[in-house]
Amino acid sequence: MEKAYKLLAIQEDISNNKAKELIDKGIVYVGDKKVKIARALLEDDTKFRIEMPRDIAIIYQDEFVVAVDKPAFIDSYDIEDAIEGAELLHRLDRETSGVLVLSRDASWAKKAIECFKRREVTKKYIAWVEGLVYEEEEIDAPIATHKKGGSAFSQVDIKNGKKALTKIKPIEIQGKKSKIEIEIDTGRTHQIRTHLSYIGHPIVGDERYGSKTKAKRVLLHSKYLKIFDYEFEANEPDDILRYK
C-alpha cells in the first residue's frame, strides 16, 4: 500500500507536488471513481487515468469584453490569469462549464459589475438532476452561506438567509434523471446547487449537496449570458448534451 499521489508520480514520471496538484484538481481517476484524497492508501499496482480539461475556447472578444467557454475542472481565476489584461466579472465553480465573462476595460467593468448587482444580467444554465421534473417551478428561498478553511457551503435559511430566486424548466427525461434549464435572478454562492437540493432534485454528481449518483463532475453548464447588448452562448459539452 502507498499514498495515491506517490503512486501517481511514479506512474506518470512527475514530481510528488505535481501529482498532488492533479488529484486536487479532480481529474485523476481509478476506473470510474475519482481519486479525492491525495494521501489515500492504494494498492501498489493501482492504475490511474488522468482526464485533462479541454482547451479554453474564446466565444467573443473586443476592446471591452472577452467571453470564454470555460471547461470543467479549471478555476475561473486560472482563466483570468491566462488572459492578459482581463478581469473576471463573475465566477463559475471549478466543475461548472460554460460561459464566463471577463472585461478588458476598467470603466466598462465598473458598469458591468453594477449591472450584476442590479440583477440586470440574464443567466441561464443546463443541468442533469436526480428524479423526474415535469413542470416549471420557481424556487424563492433565502440562502445563507458558511465559509470555513477556504471552502463554502450554502443552505436554505428562512430566518437568516439572503433573498434568492431560481427558475427551472424541464427539457428531457432519461430513466430517473431529468435535464432542466435554470435561470437565476440572484447570484448567491452555490445558489443553483442549494435550491435544487432543497426541492429534492440535486444535480447529478453533486455529492456534497445530496446526489447519490457518481459522476465525473457536477453536471452543470452555464449555457447563456446576456449583459447590456452582449449575448453569449456556450454549446453543451458531451456530458451535458446527453446523459449516459
Measured in degrees and rounded to the nearest 5, phi and psi for residue 229 equal -100, 10
Phi, psi angle pair for 7, to nearest 5°: -65, -40
Among the listed residues 93, 185, 206, 238, the single catalytic one is 93
CA-nearest of 53, 41, 38, 96 to 225 is: 96
Provide CB contacts within 8 A for 24, sequence distance 6+.
38
Cβ contact 26:95 at 8 Å: yes
SS3 (DSSP) at 14: coil
Respond yes or no: is residue 93 known to be catalytic.
yes
- Distance, CA of 71 to CA of 67 (rounded, Å): 13
Q: Which residue, among 51, 130, 56, has the nearest Cα to 98 in the 3D structure?
A: 56
Q: Which residue has the cell 440586470?
A: 120
Residues classed as catalytic:
93
